[in-house]
Structure 1
Amino acid sequence: MGYAMPEQTGVGLHLRLYSRAFIVQTNRSSRPVVFVNLDAGMSSQLLKTQVLQRLKSEYGNIFDHDNVMLSATHTHSGPAGFFQYTLFDITSRGFVRQTLEVMVNGIVQSIRAAYASLTPGRILYAEGLLKNASINRSPVAYLNNPPSERSR
């Protein structure tokens, strides 16, 4: 997807992009919840629809829109052309079916592997305040916020 600069054209392979699937299921009789993190700028409705169609053909009604979530790392080094809306396909000069198919295949493969290797485990979390962990990338714009916001 790059940075929407037409003269910027990627060639070859620098680093591979991955799809990582995590499945959580409270017990074998409950429906699993799937979280997929893919190395892409963002996901698309078309991508999820195609993934769900493929999963339905393999697993029946185990996976659907309600229990599968696709998330992206927001890399600008990933492909474009896998969206159903023209605006997002401008950087690739249109829809690229091959890109969509490769991404669907990779995502389904990662879900398949995660589902085949389900093992008992635990999910832990912590709550707390994390101070000074980030910066505002646009301090000039941030200064337009009211003083009450800036003093937090």
Structure 2
Amino acid sequence: MTFINRFKLVFAGAALLAVSACGLVQPEALTPEAQAQTEEERRETIWDIFRDQDPDVKVSVNRFIWNASLEVLNFLPVESVDPFTGVIVMGYGTPPGGNRAYRATVYVKDPALEARSLVVALQDRNGRTVSASTQRAIEDAILSRARQLRIQDGRL
């Protein structure tokens, strides 16, 4: 377990203890003003982030671009994904028939199947960004594959 993971675990445990200790006061013993304030505080706690605020909120990325990104860049190991923000972070890998290693970060920023919905950032092992033409070629390959996936889906 890495240091950061241990820190996160200890921090989460401390936060849990702090929040659970806040409930030791019995509501019956409070004055009406304090009881109203306690009810108001309950509506604005850390636990509110775990409640569904709006059940109609959905993932707002294009699934065809998302899947096409994973297919086109399948030679890169996936390090982390977040479909709610549309970010895919990939580690270093060498493309088939290539001799340079790259890493990529893909950002699907819109649910539309359009070029403006996709941003790809590529870096080589030295941390330098690759040429704009190479990035555009990768984006074009992803968008072409996304269109193929949409046609195959058949629900146009």
Is the TM-score greater than 0.5?
Answer: no
Which of these two proteins has the greater Rg computed from alpha carbons? 2
Q: TM-score, normalised by structure 1?
A: 0.28
Relative to total residues, which structure has the larger helix share, 1 or 2? 2
